[in-house]
Amino acid sequence: MHQRWHDLLFAHWPLSPTALDGRLPPGLRPDLFDGHAWLGVVPFRMSSVRLAGLPPLPGSGAFPELNVRTYVRHGEQPGVWFFSLDAASRLAVEIARRWFALPYFHARMSCAADGEGIRYASRRIDARGAPAELRARYAPIGPPVPSAPGSLEDFLTNRLTLFATDRRGRLVQGDVEHARWPLQPARAELELNTMGAALGLRLDGPPRNLLFARRLDVRIGAPRAVD
């Protein structure tokens, strides 16, 4: 699958590793930085969404998306585990659920320019998930700076494998290909954020780390069983 991501915010909170007890499938363990697990709330806008070799499907090629994610390891392989993925395209939600078994949910969403920044809103309307909502304004506050190897920024964003479980409960993975993130420092006003509460996870205070990216082209490989 090919995608283009626009106007993305990485908002991250540290968690006790025990906060993820029972929340990950067998074979995965929390990946820690500075002794913490990390939860990311990641709003952005997608375009040029299509399966390889096919044109975008009508009504599903461009839409806002909102991910809630954490960081895991399978053996020594680092990756991303998605707790939820909300999207404004009902068709894209159903395709992603069937194709990759990812926990996608339909939501009413908007993503609009606000000066140099973004005004973003999402409210889940899919009965398959707990009610969850985000209203935020965010913007970059500096030029792109490459993340240094071994830094928190590199740990949170340099993830080229995603994990999921298929309908039979088997662990699968997909490879993610893209250039290095054009990360910028960011500010954010989270007017309403119940994305963590929908999972039963408490997010104390403002995000510990905020990053912005204007655009990135991404390719996601077909899911395959984990060895």
Q: Report, as an integer, the average pLDDT of 100-127.
A: 96
- If 0-12 CB within 10 Å is exposed, 13-18 middle and 19+ buried, where does residue 132 land? buried
Range of 56's domain? 2-225
Cβ within 8 Å of residue 204, ≥6 positions away: 13
What's the CA gap between 221 and 99, in Å, rounded?
A: 11
> Are the C-beta atoms of 177 and 139 separated by less than 8 Å?
no
β-bridge partners, 117: 114
Residue-wise pLDDT tens digits, 18-77: 999 999 999 999 999 999 999 999 999 998 887 766 666 665 568 999 999 999 999 999
120, 113 Cβ separation under 8 angstroms: no
Q: Are 68 and 39 in contact (CB under 8 A)?
A: yes
Neighbour-count burial of 168, counting CB atoms closer than 10 A to its CB (0-12 exposed, 13-18 middle, 19+ buried): exposed
Cβ count near 225 (within 10 Å) = 9
**CA 180 to CA 159: how far, in whole Å?**
10
**Dihedral pair phi/psi, residue 222, rounded to 5°:** -60, 145
Structure pTM?
0.94
- pLDDT over 70 for what percent of the chain? 96
Bin 161: left if φ > 0, else alpha if -120 < ψ < 50, else beta.
beta
How many folded domains does the chain comprise?
1
DSSP string for 180-196: PP--EEEEEEEEEE-TT
Q: What are phi and psi of 119, to 5 degrees?
A: -110, 125
Computed over every residue of the chain, the mean pLDDT equals 93
CATH number at 87 reads 2.40.400.10
Indicate whether 213 pLDDT > 70.
Answer: yes
- Transcribe 48-115 into DSSP letters: EEE-TTSPPPTTTSSEEEEEEEEEEEETTEEEEEEEEEEES-HHHHHHHHHHH---EEEEEEEEEEET
State pLDDT tens for residues 173-195. Answer: 999 999 999 999 999 999 999 99
